[in-house]
Amino acid sequence: MKKTIYLLVGTLVSPILFAAQNTTISTLAEFIALQDLSDQNITMKAGTYHITSETKSLFSGGDWRANVIKATGSDDIWPGLFKFTGSNNTFDLTGVTFTFESTILEELPNKSHGSLIELSGTSNVWKGFDFEEVPNDNGEYGEFINNSGGAMLAINGSDHYITDLTLKSRFSRPYGFGALYGKTGSSKGMLPNLGLSKKSGLYITELTNTRFENVVIDHSGFGH
């Protein structure tokens, strides 16, 4: 059964330093090129931007962002589509929808624990971020229901303002469980010997002094 969750989180946020450069973009290539820059005021032309296997050619090296493992074995950079690390940026994505087929996960390194998007840095404004999984030509949803760990969107950093954020996808296997009934298939879980996919929609970690408004998460499992 589909669950639609409305999330409203409010905290005081320090004044945002508005970006100095005013730029309008209209392609995925331009959007990808902005990921590590700061002091920008970006408006993206309204429309639907579909992400396919061919989109990886737009990234440096012509492939999806690589997964880098620290010497300790922990993840330094999770694989995925977008990883924004800049600061003092304003992104106006009003009327923009990013769509993707989750079968692209098959091409990502460490797909089991990777997040597709990460928003970090400090003092960024995100307005109208809409990211949606769509079915393939047969009407089927793909890899999110078959892979564990990670999230659709991870947010960290500080002093952000994020409004009109929408995430739509299909998650945990079996549907409707997620971590609520135990995260593993071990005997310690409430459902022994049942492996759960544990995918999450929105993962907030190490995030401070940030305000969210009008957040919609629409998926078919609880995540964790």
Secondary structure, 3-state, 86-125 = CCCCEEECCCEEEEECHHHHHHCCCHHHCCCEEECCECCE
**What residues contact residue 166 under an 8 Å CB cut-off, 6+ apart?**
129, 130, 131, 132, 215, 216, 218
Q: Where are the domains of the chain?
A: 3-62+76-176+195-219
- What is the pLDDT at residue 196? 53
pLDDT digits (tens, 9 = 90+) for 42-56: 999 999 999 988 888
Q: Amino acid identity, residue 102?
A: S
- What is the pLDDT at residue 138? 81
Do residues 111 and 83 make contact, with C-beta atoms less than 8 angstroms apart? Answer: no
Q: Is 60 helix (H, G, I), strand (E, B) or coil?
A: helix
pLDDT digits (tens, 9 = 90+) for 103-153: 787 777 656 566 788 899 999 999 999 999 888 788 877 666 666 666 788
- What is the pLDDT at residue 32? 92
Distance CA 80, CA 101 (A): 13
> CA gyration radius for the chain?
17
Do residues 111 and 70 make contact, with C-beta atoms less than 8 angstroms apart? Answer: no
- What is the pLDDT at residue 114? 65
- What is the pLDDT at residue 56? 86
Predicted structure pTM score: 0.77
- What is the pLDDT at residue 72? 45
- What is the pLDDT at residue 223? 45
- What is the pLDDT at residue 122? 97
**What residues contact residue 184 under an 8 Å CB cut-off, 6+ apart?**
195, 196
Q: Which residue has the tokens 């089927």?
A: 140
- What is the pLDDT at residue 64? 76
Q: What parts of the chain have a pLDDT lower than 70?
A: 1-21, 65-79, 109-114, 142-150, 171-200, 220-224
